[in-house]
Structure 1
Amino acid sequence: MVRAALRLRRPSRLIAALLVAVAAAGAAQTQERGGFVTGTIQSPVLTIDPDRLYAESAYGRRVAEALDEQGAALAAENRHIEAELAAEERALTERRPEMAPEAFRQEAEAFDRRVMRIRREQDAKARALAARSDAARRTFIRAARPVLEEMMRESGAAVIVEARSVFMSLDAVDITEAARARIDATISPEIPETPEIAPATPGEAPAEGAPDGPAVAPPGADAP
């Protein structure tokens, strides 16, 4: 049977690394410019939920919608292929009594090779979707960085930490929602149409670490 498992990973380590870099840059810029922005929370430490920041942003929702559609199409394609292969296998089994042993062996081996090739192709498509999800998240991080730096300067903050790693804090220092609103106003939620995922070369498995497809990125985003 042919089943391609779709794993849309949503790691937060990339955003965590971003926050460390932003903290250093924000602290230096705040010292250089001297002074904070009035009317905003003043705190040396701000907190943020990076997963919610991405998932609830207009861009994150648009990417999720696009990838969900592609994932559903891939799942439907897999079911169709599985049904066809199962029918072909039954037909071959039913013909076996009428076939010479050598002829049956050759057809059975050819069928097995075809099944393995199709499985590699469908697995490559699933990996392509996962790679696109990761690429979209990285693009979002690049777009979010200047927004977070600006919010740090306004608050006089030296660091932004993940909310889930904090034992106790005031809600006022959580900038997740404010950052999301600013980012939504900064980058477009629209993403380019994603081309069809090309199947793997017949009889060959995709090379490890090879790119599985174009990244999903908002117009005007920085190039990787």
Structure 2
Amino acid sequence: MFLRRVSLAVLFALGATALCAQDAPQGSGVASETVESREVSATKGTKLVFPVLVFDRSRVLSQSAAGQALEAEIDEARAALLAENEQIYADLETEEQEIADAKPLMSEEAFRLRAQEFDTKVTEARSAQDQKARDIQTLYDDGIGEIEQKMNDALATIARDLGAVVVFERGQVYLMNGAIDISRLVIEKLDEDLAEDTDTAPADQDTAPSED
């Protein structure tokens, strides 16, 4: 609650709207300016300054190309693991039934050994599948970490360009003017960076020295 109050106080202290580096003409609506309109204002010789900016982390992750690609990769991996788990379960269930059917034909010692081997097999299979699930979670966490690093770089660039002194995550703000939300700009910056990485990757491979 204290953080929300501080966020609100900062927003109102700085006007919670875009501020103009030059005096606005009489009758102009500075409050109606948005972050996205800065290019238009720049062509008119007016540099817009946004001391406070806000972004929506969940929106950036869900709508950016990098975030969507990661989500698709994780969904595919989880679906494959689920299908594999179902197949393993079906195979173990069949084997368990075979052991039960063979019990009358086996000595007590032979059955006990077979049952122990089966229990060990079940335990090892469960452990292996659990590790695969953890690997998928690690893949997701690492992917999110990489995206957030690029997101932080994008935020720093945008904040510098707009003269911001503070950037809040939307969940930290109690009340705000939508004009200071830069989520779309961050998404566009991430998509541009991803496109550049994709374009340069084949070129790097093509220019690699060939082995004689």
TM-score clears 0.5: yes
Q: CA deviation at 1:44?
A: 1.8
User: What is the CA RMSD across the aligned residues, in angstroms?
Assistant: 2.4
Q: CA deviation at 1:187?
A: 2.1
Q: How far, CA to CA, are the matches of 1:59 and 1:174 in structure 2? A: 20
Which residue, 94, 100, 108 being the options, matches 1:93?
Answer: 100
* Alignment-derived partner of residue 43 in structure 1: 50
Point out the structure with max Rg over C-alpha: 2
Q: How does 1:112-123 map to 2 (within 5 A)?
A: 112-123=119-130
* Alignment-derived partner of residue 68 in structure 1: 75
Q: CA deviation at 1:56?
A: 1.0
Which residue, 96, 104, 117 being the options, matches 2:111?
Answer: 104
Q: 3-state SS of the aligned residue for 1:156?
A: coil
Q: Describe the superposition over 1:102-141 as per-residue Cα deviations: whole angstroms up to 9, x where unpaired.
A: 1111100010001100111111111111100111111112
Q: Describe the superposition over 1:82-113 as per-residue Cα deviations: whole angstroms up to 9, x where unpaired.
A: 00000100111111122111111110001000
The answer to whether residue 123 in structure 2 is matched with residue 147 in structure 1 is no
Q: How far, CA to CA, are the matches of 1:146 and 1:98 in structure 2? A: 69
Q: How far, CA to CA, are the matches of 1:90 and 1:167 in structure 2? A: 60
The answer to whether residue 168 in structure 2 is matched with residue 174 in structure 1 is no
Task: State the identity as a percent.
Answer: 31
* Alignment-derived partner of residue 193 in structure 2: 186
Q: What is the aligned length?
A: 159
| Cα gap change, 1:61 to 1:189, in 2 (>3 Å) | farther
Q: Describe the superposition over 1:140-196 as per-residue Cα deviations: whole angstroms up to 9, x where unpaired.
A: 1222222211111122211111112211000011111111011111124988xxxxx
Q: How far, CA to CA, are the matches of 1:90 and 1:79 in structure 2? A: 17
Q: How far, CA to CA, are the matches of 2:190 and 2:83 in structure 1? A: 35
Q: CA deviation at 1:41?
A: 5.3
Q: How far, CA to CA, are the matches of 1:47 and 1:188 in structure 2? A: 25
Which residue, 25, 46, 62 being the options, matches 1:55?
Answer: 62
Following superposition, which runs of at least 4 residues in structure 1 exceed 3 angstroms of deviation?
A: 35-41, 188-191
Q: 3-state SS of the aligned residue for 1:187?
A: helix
Instruction: Return the letter of the residue paired with 2:129.
Output: Q
Q: Describe the superposition over 1:52-73 as per-residue Cα deviations: whole angstroms up to 9, x where unpaired.
A: 1112110111111112111111
Q: How far, CA to CA, are the matches of 1:105 and 1:189 in structure 2? A: 62
Q: Which moved more, 1:134-143 or 1:182-191?
A: 182-191
* Alignment-derived partner of residue 163 in structure 2: 156
Q: Provide the TM-score with structure 2 as the length reference.
A: 0.69
